[in-house]
Chains A and B, each alone.
Chain A
Amino acid sequence: MPLLIGAVPAQAGEKEATLAGINRATWGLAEWPIGAPSADRALPPAAQARIDEMRISREGMPQLVMEMDAQNRAANQTPDPTQRQAAKKDWQQAMNALEREAQTRSLLRDLYSPDQMREQMTWFWFNQFNVHGKKRDIRAMVGDYEDVIRARSLGRFRDLLEATLRHPAMLRYLDNDQNAAGHINENYAREIMELHTMGVGSDYSQKDVQELARILTGVGVRLRPDAPRMKPEWQRLYLRNGLFEFNPARHDFGTKHFMGHTIHGSGYAEVEQALDLIADNPATARRLSTRIATYFMGDRPPASVIERMTAAWRQSGGDITTVLNAMTATPAYAASLGHAFKDPVHYVVSAVRYAYGPGRDGHVVTNLDPMINWLKRMGEGLYDHQTPDGYPLGASAWTGPGQMEVRFEIAKAIGNGSAGLLRPRDPAMAYQPSAPDLRNALWSGGMDRATTDQTRAVLNQAASPQEWNMLFLASPDFMRR
C-alpha cells in the first residue's frame, strides 16, 4: 500500500498547507517542490559513498561481533599490564567507532533519504524497542539492529516485534540471553508487555510476566560458530540464525498459563504463540496507535484519530502503513499541521536539512559529529537512552528552560556556519567555513507566508545574514512542524 503524505486543509492557502504537510511527512522540509516519497530514489552520491566505506557496511554483523569479541579476549589475555591496557583501549576505541558509524549513517539517511517516512518511523520504532548502545557489546550490534527495524518499519507489527526479539542487541540489553530454566530472569518478559506492546495497566498480571519469562527461557545469543552439544532429542528443536539461538537445553518445557491460555512445552513455538497473543491484544493496537499519533501530531491527539487508527490496526492485522494512512486521512491530522512541537532529534535534523539538505547547492554534510554531540547535549542522543522506555514523545519533556537555551546555541552555530558540518574529512584539505543561505532558500520556497508577524518583525531586525539564520532557527515557528 502506498503511503500518503497527508491531507491539505481546504481553508488554508494551498501552498502553505502543502508545505506544512510535507514538513510533517519529512524530517523537515528541505527542497521544494518535493515528489511523493519513494524508496527507489537514492541518497546523494557523496552520502552513499560515505556509508559504503563504513566497516558496518562492509562486514556482516555476526562476523563483526565475533571479531570484536576475539579482540577483547586477546586484550584480556595480554600478559604485560601496559600492553594489556593499550590493547583494551584499542578495543574500546574500535567499539566506539562502530557505534559512531551507525550514528553517522542514521543521520545521513535522515538528512538525505528520499524515503523520509521510513526514516522517521525507523527512529520511532527504535525508540519503541529501545536498546542502549553502551551496554556490553551492543555497540557492535546497534547498526544492524537499526537496519532490521528499518526494513520492517512500515510493514506488519508482528514481524517487527519478533525481529527485535530475535536480535542479539535486544537479548543482551534486557538480559534474556541469561534467562534459563531454573535461573529465571524476568527483565525482558516484563518489558515486552509493559513497554513494547500492551502497556502497563492492561490485561496482564505479575503471574503473566513470570510465565512469559519461562516461555522465553533458552532464547539467547551465541557468538561461537558451532552449536552447543546437547541430547539428541533436543537437537531438532535447536534454532540458530546469525548470533540468535534457541537452546532447548536451557528451556523450561513445563506447561505455562499465559494470558488465559494454556501453553504446552514445545520449544520456540511457545514464543510464537505468546507473541501472537500479545500482538493481537486490543491493548497493543490502541497503545501503539496512540504513540504513533503523539509522535506525529503532538501531545494528546484527539480520541477520534486514535479510534480510526486502532480500527485500521485491527482490520489490517497490524499493518503499519495502513495505520499511518488512517491517521493522515483524518481532518484532525490536517488541522494539527504546524502545531506539533519538535523533539531535539526533529529540531536538529530539520535545521540541518534547511541549511544543507537535498537541493541546497550540492552541499552534503561531511562531518556529522556536531549533530551527534548536540543530540547528546539535549538529552536525546542516538542509542543513548539507558532505560527501555525510550525517549518521551510528548512536548512537555522538551520545552524546559535548559532545553530551549541549548537550541538557541545550536541555532547560532548552524546559522553562522561555525559548527563545522562541512569540514572536509581529510584535515589536510583547505576549508573556509561559511554560513548557509537560509533566507533566500526559504523565501523562494514560500515559507515567508507561514511565519507569524511577530517573528517576521524580529527577523527584520537581524544585523547580518548569519544573525537572520540564527533568529529563524531559534523562532517559535521553527520549533513546530
Chain B
Amino acid sequence: MTLFDRRDLIRSAALGLPLMMAGGRAFAAPGAANNRLLVVFLRGAYDAANIIVPGGSDFYHEARPTIGLPRPDPANPDAPLALDADWALHPALRESILPLWQARQIAFVPFAGTDDMSRSHFETQDSIELGQNIGGQRNFQSGFMGRLAAVLGADKPISFTDQLPLCFRGGPVVPNIALGNAGSRPSIDARQTELIKAMYRGQHEAGVDLEAAIGQGFAVRDTVFQSIRGEMEAAGRGAITAKGFELSARRIGRLMRDQYNLAFVDVGGWDTHVNQGGAQGNLANRIGELGRALAGFVEAIGPEDWRNTTVVVMSEFGRTFRENGDKGTDHGHGSIYWVLGGSVAGGRMAGPQIKLTPDTLNQGRDLPVLTDYRGLIGGLLARQYGLSARQLGIVFPGAAISDLQLL
C-alpha cells in the first residue's frame, strides 16, 4: 500500500466517507491550506540558560559554579556546542537539534516571555495560554489557539493532551487525546455510538457543546486507532520503536501529516529546584528526550509536509540566573523560545539581545524579557498564514506584533 493510499484510508475512515474519494488535502481555509503549526509547551519553566547557553559570558560561569556547562570545546564531549560567538547548545541536543540548526531550520529567540511578573507557574501558564492583556479582566473561556482556529476558519485543530488546555478554548470544538495511552481497540460499536449521541443532543456544559464534543471524540478515537494500528504493523516489521514523549511526538507527526494542521502538546517535569545537573543529569535527560522527540516528529511528518510546518517550543518563564543552594534554580522571568520548521529562516539567534551581567539581570535575579511572546507568535502567524492586522488583533488583542522574519 502506498503512502497516499493509506492517507486516504485514514481520512475516509475518520470522515465516514467511501474509500474512492480522491487524494488531496481536506483543509479548506485558504490561509491554513498546507500550513501546519504545532505548539509545544514545556510546563514547569525549563532552565533555558542551561540549554541554549550564554557560553561566552564570564558571568554565566560565575553564577553557576556547579551546574554550569563548560566553555565550548570540540574536544570535550560535555561541552556545549558553539552556535555563534555568544551562545552554545546543550550537548544532549547534538544528534537531534544541531543538524536542524546547521540546516537553518531552527531559530532560538532569547529574552522571550511575558510581562506577567507573578513568577507563578500556573498563573503565567494561564496568562500565556489566554493570550490576553495582563492586568485586564480575564476571560477564561478564550485562549489564543482557540481564537486562531476561529480566525483560520475550517482548519483542523487537535490537542494532544488528556485535558483540553486553556489555550484551545473559545473557538470551534477541539478534540483532545493523550497519545501516550491511546491505541486500544474501541469497545463502543457504531449503533451504541449513535445511541449515546442521541442522549447528548442539545446538551451543554460550562459553555461546551457536549453534542459536538462527543461527535469529535468518537471521530478522533477512530482516526487515532487506525493510525496507531498502522504504526504497530510497521513496528512489527522492525521500524523504530520509541517511548515516552518521543513516541507521542512521532504519532503527532503522522497525525499532522495525514489529518490535523493546528496542534498543541505539553510536556511536564521542567521545575528543577534541586540537583538539576549540567551536561549530564536530570535536565540533560529531559532535554535529550525533547530533542529526539522533535527530530522524530520531523521524520514522521516527512520532508514534503515539513516544508509547510512550523513548531514553536515555549515555557512559562525562565529560572534564576544564579544557581540556588541546592544545585538547582528557582523561579525567574525571561526564557528562550524555539521556532523550527522546513521554511524557517533559522540558524540564528533572533530578536533583541543584551549582554548578561549582574546589572542587566531583571530585578538582579533573572533574564529580562525583550521579546513579548504575543508579538513573537503574532509575527510568525502573520507570515505563515498572511493574517491581517485585524485578525492578529483577534488572536492577540492589544499586543504589539514584532516581525522577527522567522519565515
Taking beta carbons and an 8 Å cutoff, which residues of A are in contact with B? 175, 178-180, 182-187, 190, 194-195, 200-201, 206, 209, 298-299, 341, 376-379, 386-387, 389, 392, 394-405, 408-409, 412-413, 454-455, 457-458, 461, 467, 470-471, 474-476, 479
Contacts and interface: CB of A to CB of B under 8 A. Distances in A.
B187 A401 contact: no
Interface stretch (B76-84, B93-101, B113-121, B240-248): B113-121
Given A178-B326, A394-B206, A401 B196 contact: no
Given A471-B199, A474-B199, A190 B331 contact: yes
B207 interface: yes
A396 B164 contact: yes
21 contacts: A175-B274, A201-B118, A209-B119, A387-B121, A387-B271, A389-B122, A396-B169, A398-B163, A400-B163, A401-B217, A402-B220, A403-B163, A405-B218, A454-B198, A458-B196, A458-B199, A461-B195, A471-B195, A471-B199, A476-B199, A476-B210
Nearest to A206: B119
Size bracket, chain B contacts: 35 or more
Contacts of B214: 401, 404-405
Nearest to B189: A412
B18 interface: no
Contacts of A387: 43-44, 121-122, 268, 271
Given A299-B206, A379-B162, A396-B207, A183 B268 contact: no
Contacts of B269: 386
Given A194-B123, A200-B120, A399-B210, 17 more contacts: A178-B325, A185-B328, A187-B330, A341-B206, A379-B178, A387-B43, A395-B206, A400-B174, A401-B214, A402-B178, A405-B221, A412-B187, A412-B188, A413-B187, A454-B199, A470-B192, A474-B199
A34 B174 CA distance: 41
A402 B159 CA distance: 9
Closest 9 CB pairs of A and B: A183-B325, A379-B162, A401-B217, A400-B164, A405-B217, A400-B176, A401-B216, A402-B176, A395-B206
A401 B176 contact: yes
B201 A408 contact: no
Contact of A397 (B123, B163, B175, B215): B163
B330 A399 contact: no
B213 interface: yes
Given A341-B206, A458-B198, A185 B325 contact: yes
A116 B188 CA distance: 32
A476 B203 contact: yes
Nearest to B203: A476
B298 interface: no
Given A394-B206, A401-B216, A409 B164 contact: no
B273 A401 contact: no
A458 B199 CA distance: 7
Contact of A201 (B123, B206, B271): B123
A387 B271 CA distance: 9
B175 A401 contact: yes
B59 interface: no
A458 B218 CA distance: 18
Contacts of A299: 206
Nearest to A397: B163
B14 interface: no
A378 B210 contact: no
Contacts of A402: 162, 164, 175-178, 217, 220
Interface string B180-211: 01000011100010011011111101111010
Interface string B333-364: 00000000000000000000000000000010
A175 B213 contact: no
Contacts of B159: 400
B217 A186 contact: no
B133 interface: no
A413 to B, nearest CB: 7
Contacts of A378: 162
Interface in B367-390: none
B188 A379 contact: no
A455 B220 CA distance: 24
A386 B121 CA distance: 13
B41 to A, nearest CB: 13
B140 to A, nearest CB: 8
B34 interface: no
B324 interface: yes
Contacts of A392: 163
A404 B217 contact: yes
B17 to A, nearest CB: 20
Contact of A404 (B202, B213, B268): B213
B173 interface: yes
Given A299-B206, A341-B205, A474-B199, A403 B176 contact: yes
A334 to B, nearest CB: 20
Contact of B163 (A178, A195, A379, A389): A379
B273 A408 contact: no
A178 B274 contact: yes
A298 B210 CA distance: 16
Interface in B110-136: 118-123
Nearest to B118: A200
Interface in B155-176: 159, 162-164, 169, 173-176
Contacts of A201: 118, 123
A474 B218 CA distance: 13
A225 B104 CA distance: 59
A408 B188 contact: yes
